[in-house]
């Protein structure tokens, strides 16, 4: 009955970790109100090493500055960073999308479309992508929610791959 | 420990046992699992609650949610995928119906009774008469219901969509055009439902959320435990949902694949060999939840099978529509010989694929057929681009490069590209062309699109029997309530669409059969669930 003895200890440890995680998330939110800078990794990630070893200091950088080294063909960042980073680096902070709130809500695609334009227009722009246009489909037309593929706070995914073998690299 | 196991739902072994027991002889599964579960207490705290919880937001789920909400109930509509639609969105968007205004407008004098006779003949003695009758009687009203929400069914798309013309069935009742189709196929049909759901304030939709386990409680009144709620997985989190009136299972049955391995194979070897052509989210969740509280499964060895095209690496197949749209081609086995009348109904062709060792075959056609396919697309039939031939006619070379289309400047070279015997394929083509020129297929009796294939280059793609929907499912009554092995109601549990057996039993009758079925039982499940008295 070793488990019986260990279980309470494990439980306490879990509670402790969960609480820590919550506090950390809260801290992140507080900082967002103070105006997070996209290039200042530590403002959200704290002491975590999030950049590769020897990476130049990014504190003062914006999206354009990143693009000086990271092009589409060389050191591409496609799919590497959750899209909130792109937004932050381009000067679009938490409040621009979520508004001034303590409890940011999940947003629907109307918010994306309000800046990025209609999905019909987007589908036009990507009509020549092979093997097929990722922004329209016989099943859903141009109605698919952007967030099914393009995530802001986690790694993006290729929703088509639920059924198809389209090898899209999702930004 | 025993209790814990039960609370965690049934294991696979139990599932197989349940399935095996119930389809054939209907043994007493209901009473096995339920007794012990009596002592399982209800959760102290629920994360969410709603009058009615509908699990699975495809066609059936949408119908159920709409009717329940319109009857004044609050509805929580769960969808496992990121987007609703399920297999309905992937379908041809056809509704089988009789005695409709559209039929009358083109002078077709059809009745629900005639449709009943046809469906019962397809049921091969196993379809449940009262369920079939209900679907036929409601079919015309279902078309009106969809039309009232913006569904446009047009005269030129009205078609005979099943085996009505085959001698065996024509002898039973006069063949009629009953396939009512909306422009833009299944996605357009589903959009009608989805737009209505969006407009309904009483419905809350949760995507990326799947039902995992039903929670039951005992009642004095009924033999079976009643469903009180469920455990669901929502975006990685486990949540408990209280269903005050009822739970409706509409998860889409099961598709061949990992989840189906192990039991579909034992039970229905032919269906297990099919490639999946319905939504990959159909993994038997509804069956599992249903039998976990005593529901009985029926007719598991039936399904809608069609010749399909599996794109390499893809999880699901596309339907080969070439012969539905009258495009000339032949199907050959791996030995290079034909095995069927390709123009016959797809159910019959796919049956022959199993019987004649042709579960891997090739659809062979020529450049003239490609041209005809283009013409079809240009005619604006609004078929999905890829389905006219099974392939996309717009970028053939790209498809050759990607490896799912074979091409040869001669028939022999095509055979070489496929990897089958060249002499055999050349001989097969010569025979077919001779017959086509004479206008009589002496080998297999093909009459539809019997045209020579003589224009180089030649093309082929691999075909396999595919499953668009699994027809068997939970036994239900005419109120769409789930029944146990003794035909006793499981209180507060409903099923519709492919989670329920519905009208099926034998052969898949026609395109539009599954949708007319889901409209009827989805709507009934929603209406009846809303009339339940809420528990507290």
What are the distances in angstroms from CA B384 to CA A154, B112, B468? Answer: 34, 31, 16
End-to-end CA distance of chain A: 50
Dist. CA B350–CA B355, nearest whole Å: 9
Which among B81, B191, B314 is the nearest to A165, CB-wise?
B314
Facing B311 at nearest CB: one of A143, A148, A165: A165
Are B85 and A131 inside 8 Å of each other by CB?
no
Angle (deg, nearest 10), helices B422-438 and B411-418: 130
Residue by residue, pLDDT tens for chain A (171 residues) are 456 666 666 665 566 555 555 444 444 444 444 557 788 888 888 888 888 888 999 988 998 899 899 988 888 888 788 899 999 999 898 889 999 888 888 898 999 999 999 999 999 999 999 888 999 987 888 989 999 999 999 889 999 888 887 889 898
Among A139, A145, A165, beta carbon nearest to B85: A139
Chain A environment of B313 (Cβ under 8 Å) = 165
Give the integer Cα–Cα distance in Å for A35 and A13: 33
pLDDT of B8: 36
Chain B residue with the nearest C-alpha to that of A160: B314
**What percent helix, strand, coil does chain A show, rounded to 5?**
45, 0, 55
Tell me the residues of A at the B interface, defined by beta carbons under 8 Å apart.
130-131, 138-141, 143-145, 148, 159, 162-165
Q: Which of B236, B311, B388 to mutate to test the interface with A (most CBs of A within 10 A)?
A: B311
Helical ranges in B395-447 per DSSP H: 396-401, 411-418, 422-438
* Nearest-angstrom CA–CA distance, A137 and A114: 22
State residue B460's pLDDT score.
95
Among candidates B82, B280, B384 on the partner chain, residue whose Cβ is nearest the Cβ of A159: B82
Under a CB-based contact definition with an 8 Å cutoff, are residues B307 and B363 in contact?
Answer: yes
* Degrees to nearest 5, angle at CA B66 with B65 and B68: 65
CB atoms within 10 A of CB B530: 22
B485 neighbors B396 (Cβ within 8 angstroms):
no
Whether residue B312 and residue A165 make contact (CB cut-off 8 A), yes or no, is yes
Q: Which residues contact A19 (CB under 8 A, 6 or more apart)?
A: none
Set of chain A residues whose Cβ sits within 8 Å of the Cβ of B386: 138
Mutate to test the interface with A, among B185, B207, B279, B313 (most CBs of A within 10 A): B313
Strands (E), B369-480: 406-408, 458-470, 473-474
* Residue B88 · residue B190 · CB < 8 Å: yes
A163 with B316: Cβ contact below 8 A: yes
Tell me whether residues B187 and A144 touch, CB distance under 8 A. Answer: no
* Tokens, residue B3: 């209790």
Q: What percent of chain A has pLDDT over 90?
A: 30
Residues B217, B226: Cα–Cα separation, whole Å: 5
Phi, psi of B148 (to 5 degrees): -65, -25
Q: Which residues of B touch A140 (CB under 8 A)?
A: 83, 85, 89, 187
Contact B485, B22 (CB under 8 A): yes
Inter-residue contact B365 to B329 (CB < 8 Å): yes
Contacting residues of A for B281, CB less than 8 Å apart: 162
Choosing among A119, A136, A138, which should be mutated to test the B contact, i.e. which has the most B CBs within 10 A?
A: A138
Going residue by residue through chain B, which has 536 residues, state the pLDDT in tens, using 9 for 90 and above.
333 333 333 333 344 444 444 443 333 333 333 443 444 689 999 999 999 999 999 999 999 999 999 999 999 999 999 999 999 998 989 999 999 999 999 999 999 999 999 999 999 999 999 999 999 999 999 999 999 999 999 998 899 999 999 999 999 999 999 999 988 789 999 999 999 999 999 999 999 999 999 999 998 877 889 999 999 999 999 999 999 999 999 999 999 887 776 667 777 788 888 999 999 899 999 999 999 999 999 988 889 999 998 877 677 888 888 888 888 999 999 999 999 999 999 999 999 999 999 999 999 999 999 888 888 777 755 555 445 565 666 778 888 888 889 999 999 999 999 999 999 999 999 999 999 999 999 999 999 999 999 999 999 999 999 999 999 899 999 999 999 999 999 999 999 999 999 999 999 999 999 999 999 999 999 999 999 999 98
Contact A165 B185 (CB under 8 A): no
Token pair belonging to B492:
């507060």
Expressed in angstroms, the distance from the first to the final Cα of chain B is 29
């Amino acid at each position: 009955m070793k488990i019986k003895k260990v279980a309470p200890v494990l439980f306490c440890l879990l509670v402790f970790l969960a609480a820590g995680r919550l506090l950390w998330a809260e801290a992140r939110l507080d900082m967002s109100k103070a105006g997070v800078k996209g290039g200042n990794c530590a403002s959200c990630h704290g002491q975590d090493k999030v950049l590769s070893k020897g990476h130049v200091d990014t504190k003062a950088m914006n999206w354009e500055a990143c693009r000086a080294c990271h092009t589409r063909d060389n050191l591409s960042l496609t799919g590497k960073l959750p899209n909130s980073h792109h937004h932050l680096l381009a000067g679009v902070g938490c409040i621009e999308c979520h508004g001034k709130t303590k409890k940011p809500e999940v947003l629907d695609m109307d918010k994306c479309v309000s800046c990025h334009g209609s999905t019909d227009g987007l589908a036009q722009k990507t009509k020549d992508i092979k093997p097929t246009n990722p922004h329209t489909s016989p099943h859903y037309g141009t109605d698919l929610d952007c967030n099914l593929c393009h995530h802001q706070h986690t790694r993006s995914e290729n929703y088509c791959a639920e059924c198809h073998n389209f090898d899209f690299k999702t930004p | 420990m025993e209790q814990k196991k039960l609370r965690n739902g049934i294991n696979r072994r139990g599932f197989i046992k349940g399935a095996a027991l119930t389809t054939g002889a209907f043994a007493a599964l209901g009473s096995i699992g339920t007794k012990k579960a009596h002592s399982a207490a209800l959760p102290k705290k629920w994360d969410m609650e709603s009058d009615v919880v509908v699990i699975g937001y495809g066609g059936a789920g949408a119908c159920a949610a709409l009717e329940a909400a319109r009857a004044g109930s609050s509805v929580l509509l769960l969808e496992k995928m990121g987007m609703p639609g399920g297999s309905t969105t992937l379908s041809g968007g056809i509704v089988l119906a009789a005695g409709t205004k559209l039929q009358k407008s083109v002078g077709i004098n059809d009745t629900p009774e005639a449709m009943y006779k046809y469906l019962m003949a397809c049921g091969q003695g196993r379809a449940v008469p009262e369920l079939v009758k209900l679907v036929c009687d409601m079919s015309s009203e279902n078309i009106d219901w969809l039309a009232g929400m913006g569904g446009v069914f047009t005269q030129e798309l009205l078609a005979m969509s099943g085996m009505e013309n085959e001698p065996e069935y024509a002898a039973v009742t006069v063949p009629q055009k009953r396939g009512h189709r909306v422009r833009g196929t299944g996605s357009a049909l589903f959009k009608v439902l989805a737009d209505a759901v969006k407009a309904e304030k009483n419905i809350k939709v949760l995507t990326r959320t799947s039902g995992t386990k039903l929670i039951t409680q005992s009642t004095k009144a009924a033999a079976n435990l009643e469903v009180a709620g469920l455990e669901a997985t929502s975006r990685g989190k486990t949540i408990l949902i209280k269903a005050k009136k009822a739970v409706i299972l509409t998860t889409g049955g099961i598709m061949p694949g990992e989840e189906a391995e192990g039991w579909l194979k034992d039970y229905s070897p032919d269906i297990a060999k099919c490639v999946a052509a319905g939504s990959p989210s159909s993994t038997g969740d509804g069956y599992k939840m249903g039998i976990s509280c005593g529901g009985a499964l029926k007719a598991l060895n039936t399904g809608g099978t069609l010749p399909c095209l599996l794109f390499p690496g893809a999880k699901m197949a596309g339907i080969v529509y070439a012969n539905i749209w009258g495009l000339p081609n032949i199907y050959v086995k791996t030995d290079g010989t034909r095995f069927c009348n390709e123009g016959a109904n797809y159910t019959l062709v796919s049956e022959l694929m199993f019987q004649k060792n042709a579960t891997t075959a090739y659809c062979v056609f020529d450049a003239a057929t490609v041209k005809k396919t283009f013409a079809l697309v240009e005619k604006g039939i609004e078929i999905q681009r890829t389905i006219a031939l099974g392939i996309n006619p717009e970028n053939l070379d790209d498809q050759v490069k990607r490896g799912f289309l074979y091409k040869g400047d001669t028939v022999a070279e095509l055979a070489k590209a496929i990897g089958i015997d060249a002499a055999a394929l050349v001989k097969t083509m010569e025979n077919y062309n001779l017959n086509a020129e004479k206008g009589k297929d002496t080998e297999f009796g093909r009459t539809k699109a019997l045209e020579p294939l003589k224009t180089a280059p030649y093309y082929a793609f691999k075909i396999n029997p595919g499953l668009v929907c699994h027809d068997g499912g939970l036994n239900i009554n005419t109120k769409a309530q789930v029944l146990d092995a003794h035909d006793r109601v499981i209180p507060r549990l409903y099923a519709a669409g492919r989670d329920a057996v519905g009208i099926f039993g034998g052969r898949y009758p026609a395109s539009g059969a599954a949708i007319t079925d889901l409209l009827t039982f989805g709507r009934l499940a929603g209406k009846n669930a809303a009339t339940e008295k809420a528990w507290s």
